[in-house]
């Protein structure tokens, strides 16, 4: 049985299959999703800011406005307060 698996025809078929699969992967189109407006550097800053603010929750907005020294807050507080 092991001799059949190592037969040159089977080895050639394996190589052919591997080649076809690798060509399919190499030729696959990479689809890039469109940039979110706030990440698009070609848009005006005001449009980007308005888009980002519209996506943020009130808690995230408050967290960004909080003036806290990072050295006195734990990583958990920074994460939970969106700082």
CA 83 – CA 61 distance, rounded (Å): 9
User: Given this model, what pLDDT does residue 77 score?
Assistant: 83
CA 15 – CA 43 distance, rounded (Å): 49
Domain boundaries, the chain: 2-80
How many angstroms separate the most distant Cα atoms in the chain?
Answer: 73
Mean pLDDT, 10 residues at a time, the chain of 83 residues: 70 87 78 89 96 95 84 83 80
User: Given this model, what pLDDT does residue 61 score?
Assistant: 92
User: Given this model, what pLDDT does residue 41 score?
Assistant: 94
User: Given this model, what pLDDT does residue 38 score?
Assistant: 94
């Amino acid at each position: 049985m092991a001799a059949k698996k190592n037969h040159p025809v089977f080895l050639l078929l394996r190589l052919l299959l591997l080649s076809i699969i690798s060509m399919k992967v190499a030729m696959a189109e990479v689809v890039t999703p469109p940039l979110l407006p706030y990440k698009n550097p070609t848009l005006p800053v005001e449009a980007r800011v308005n888009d980002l603010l519209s996506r943020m929750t009130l808690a995230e907005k408050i967290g960004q406005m909080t003036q806290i020294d990072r050295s006195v807050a734990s990583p958990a507080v920074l994460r939970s307060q969106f700082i």
